[in-house]
Amino acid sequence: MFDIIIIGAGPAGLTSALYALRANKKILILEAKAYGGQIINANKIENYPGIQEISGFDFATNLYNQVKKLGGEIRYEPVIKIEQDKTVITNKNKYHTKAIIIATGVENRKLNISNEQKYIGKGISYCATCDGNFYKDKIVAVYGGGNTALEDAIYLSDIAKTVYLLHRRDQFRGENKYIEELKQKNNVKFILNSTIIAINGNLTIDSITIKNDFEEKNIPIDGLFIAIGQMPNNRIFTNVVDLDEFGYIKTTNDVYTKTKGIYAVGDTRVKILRQLTTAVSDGSLAASVAIKELENN
């Protein structure tokens, strides 16, 4: 029997683990893929108080090592269900616990067009900092209009021969400072009011077909970086939590779900701001209230 099971090993989940371990609680962290969550893909973090600049990988690894040093255990088993009695079922085991913290984060949003799945890892990537070096002196496209797309294009402009930045609207949603920086790049080409309607190739991508109000055309590329946002994957928890129309977990007083002893933290819950600072804030709060409730029972 565990005191607390934490589902997800991103910043929110690892922070929860850190606080719980320091309170001498028996915990287990369950993670479907790898520690770090979305932040591990960030090239630079410059808005975390007290740290002028750090890579997402280094931040996540430092936090992971803190948890491991305190004896935290991470098992890489996707969770498939939470039962009402707080039994957590993975693809391998069943675990019993007194409290659960859901910190599953979000997934990259897909284009949902033909061949997208086929070319993931064969020309399609959702992480420029992970895969950008595969496209040194090659031609790539970035699709999206927010800060992630703009930052990806900046990063890739120092690696690739040409970067096409495509967006379905006539204006970007990201910060103006990134847009101005991109305008100074000779190898970045803006394509607005356009959508990708086809991904073409054989074993790997060789082009994309885009469409605007006037025409369809093919653009030869070697790689496509998709940056159109994220979405939660919380449907498996609907027997113990309520979701909003977009699939985010509804909470009260920041981290409480509708089920006593089950909390939701980080990007996976309904919130105004999804940032690293708010993720670790959620994680510390959820662990603290869980610890208090465990000790009062």
Active site residues: 127, 130-131
Q: Supply 178's token pair.
A: 């990134």
Half-sphere exposure of 171 (CA within 13 A, CB side): 3
How far apart, in whole angstroms, are the C-alpha atoms of residue 11 and residue 219? 38
**Quick one: three-class SS letters along the chain?**
CEEEEEECCCHHHHHHHHHHHHCCCCEEEECCCCCCHHHHHCCCECCCCCCCCECHHHHHHHHHHHHHHCCCCEECCCEEEECCCCEEEECCCEEEEEEEEECCCCEECCCCCCCCCCCECCCEECCHHHHHHHHCCCEEEEECCCHHHHHHHHHHHCCCCEEEEECCCCCCCCCHHHHHHHHCCCCEEEECCCEEEEEEECCCEEEEEEECCCCEEEEECCEEEECCCEECCCHHHCCCCCECCCCCECCECCCECCCCCEEECHHHECCCCCCHHHHHHHHHHHHHHHHHHHHHC
Q: Are 63 and 11 in contact (CB under 8 A)?
A: yes
